C-alpha cells in the first residue's frame, strides 16, 4: 500500500459502514463482493438478526470509499479483513456460520477450509466467472491500472452513495484488483476439497457474471458430506437486490436455522 496515493479526503460512504447485530450463541459472518459494500447484505443480515443470530458484515479494504483507495488494496488485504472479522465474531459466539456473496464466496471458502465453521452459504460464488478478460488480468496489470468501462445502471431512486459507487467503481475495470480476484478464485478452487461444512449454493439463471456451471463445479470438488444447490429462476448476479431477493433470503435463513435437504439437490 502506498499511503500517499490515498486521497486525503477519503472517507467511507455511510451506507458502506460495517454492520454488527448482537445476538445469541450462533453468529453469521456475511462477506460482500468485489466493489460491493455491506449494504448489499444488509437485508439478509437484518433478517438473520431477527432470527436470533449475531451478525457481522465487515467492509473489505478499499471498498465503499473511492477508486484511488481501492487501487491500494488486493487479495491479501481482503482475506486478512475476513479472517479478522471471523476471529472477532468467534470470540463472541460458540458457532460461526459463513455467507459469502460473489468474491465474498471465495473468502468464505478459504475461511471454511482453514477454520471450524458451522454452515456455509455461497451466493453466486465467483469460483467460475464469465468475464473472458479475468484470466489475462495479471498480464494486463503490467500495462494498465484501470480502464474506463461503459456500465448501464438500473438505479431509479435518488441515492448519492449509489452514484459515488458507480462513478468510482462500476464505470471502471481495475486491472490489478481483477488480478487479485483471479488469485483468490484459484486459491478457493484448490481449497474446496478441504471444506467440510454443510453448504448451500444459490445461483441465478440470468447471472452474466457467474455462470450456472459453478454448481456442478462445486458439487464435484467440495469436501463437505452434505450440500445443497439451488438455481434461482429469473435472477441476475444481484441475488439480494432483485425480484428474487426474498426467495434467496428465505432459503439462506432456513439453511442456517438447520433446514436439511438431499445431498447435491438442485432446484
Domain residues of the chain, as ranges? Answer: 3-266
Identify the CA nearest to 221 among candidates 252, 185, 256.
185
- pLDDT (tens place) for every residue of the chain, 267 residues total: 889 899 999 999 999 999 999 989 999 999 999 999 999 999 999 999 999 999 999 999 999 999 999 999 999 999 999 999 999 999 999 999 999 999 999 999 999 999 999 999 999 999 999 888 888 788 877 778 878 766 555 555 578 888 899 889 988 888 899 999 999 999 999 999 999 999 999 999 999 999 999 999 999 999 998 999 999 999 999 999 888 999 999 999 999 998 434 444 433
Q: Are 100 and 201 in contact (CB under 8 A)?
A: no
Q: Are 186 and 135 in contact (CB under 8 A)?
A: no
pLDDT at 172 (0 to 100):
85
CATH number of 3-266: 3.40.50.1820
Give the integer Cα–Cα distance in Å for 223 and 227: 9
Q: What pTM was computed for the model?
A: 0.92
pLDDT at 265 (0 to 100):
41
Please state whether beta strands 26-31 and 19-21 pair in parallel, antiparallel, or not at all (unpaired): unpaired
Sign of CA dihedral 3, 7, 8, 14: negative
Helices (H), the chain: 42-50, 67-70, 75-92, 103-114, 137-140, 160-165, 175-191, 214-221, 245-256
Amino acid at each position: 500500500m502506498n499511503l500517499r496515493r490515498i486521497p486525503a479526503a477519503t472517507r467511507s460512504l455511510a451506507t458502506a459502514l460495517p454492520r454488527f447485530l448482537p445476538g445469541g450463541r450462533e453468529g453469521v459472518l456475511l462477506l460482500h463482493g468485489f466493489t460491493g459494500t455491506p449494504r448489499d447484505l444488509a437485508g439478509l443480515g437484518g433478517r438473520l438478526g431477527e432470527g436470533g443470530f449475531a451478525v457481522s458484515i465487515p467492509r473489505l479494504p478499499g471498498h465503499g470509499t473511492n477508486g484511488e483507495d481501492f487501487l491500494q488494496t488486493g487479495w491479501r488485504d481482503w482475506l486478512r479483513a475476513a479472517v479478522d472479522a471471523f476471529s472477532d465474531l468467534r470470540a463472541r459466539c460458540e458457532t460461526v456460520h459463513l455467507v459469502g456473496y460473489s468474491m465474498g464466496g471465495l473468502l468464505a471458502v478459504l475461511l471454511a477450509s482453514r477454520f471450524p465453521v458451522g454452515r456455509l452459504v455461497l451466493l453466486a460464488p465467483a469460483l467460475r466467472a464469465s468475464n473472458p478478460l479475468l484470466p489475462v488480468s495479471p498480464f494486463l496489470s503490467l500495462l494498465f491500472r484501470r480502464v474506463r468501462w461503459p456500465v448501464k445502471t438500473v438505479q431509479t431512486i435518488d441515492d448519492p452513495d449509489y452514484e459515488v459507487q458507480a462513478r468510482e467503481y462500476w464505470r471502471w475495470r481495475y486491472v490489478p484488483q481483477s488480478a487479485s480476484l483471479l488469485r483468490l478464485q484459484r486459491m478457493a478452487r484448490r481449497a474446496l476439497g478441504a471444506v467440510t461444512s454443510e453448504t448451500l449454493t444459490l445461483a441465478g439463471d440470468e447471472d452474466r457474471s457467474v455462470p450456472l456451471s459453478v454448481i456442478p463445479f462445486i458439487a464435484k470438488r467440495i469436501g463437505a458430506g452434505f450440500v445443497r444447490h439451488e438455481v434461482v429462476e429469473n435472477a441476475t448476479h444481484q441475488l439480494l437486490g432483485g425480484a428474487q431477493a426474498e426467495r434467496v433470503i428465505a432459503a439462506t435463513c432456513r439453511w442456517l436455522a438447520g433446514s436439511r435437504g438431499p445431498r447435491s439437490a438442485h432446484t
